[in-house]
Structure 1
């Protein structure tokens, strides 16, 4: 059961990382970017937090499954 959760978690993480697109498109965007060091939007902040939580869960499952085998 834990291995199934671990596989699903890894697939969701891979999908989430691939769906996230970078904000800049190279050096040309530095001249047009107004909030270069500003805070990210609430949706981007939520995705950042979700990615961190899922990564911590993934690594926790990986360590647990490694020691239980």
Structure 2
């Protein structure tokens, strides 16, 4: 059961990392930083926090599963 959760977590992390946009895109980066139509910086902060939490969970499960074997 834990291995299934671990595999799903790794696939979600891979997808989340691939969907993230690069930080340096010239003028396109400047246009996405404007706060006129919402707050992209808060969405970016949420995605950063979610990525860190999922990575901690992934590595914790990897260490735990390593000690089981």
Quickly name the TM-score band, shorter chain normalised. Answer: 0.7 to 0.9
**Residue aligning to 1:14:** 14
User: RCO greater where, 1 or 2, for CA within 8 Å and sep 6 or more?
Assistant: 1
TM-score by length of 2: 0.78
Number of aligned residues: 61
RMSD: 2.1
Give the unaligned 5+ runs of structure 2. Answer: 34-39
Structure 1: 5+ residue runs without aligned partners?
A: none
1:64 is paired with a residue whose SS is: helix
Misfit runs of 4+, over 6 Å: none
Q: Which residue of 1 aligns with 2:2?
A: 2
Q: Give the number of the structure whose residues are more often helix, by fraction.
A: 2
TM-score, normalization: structure 1? 0.78
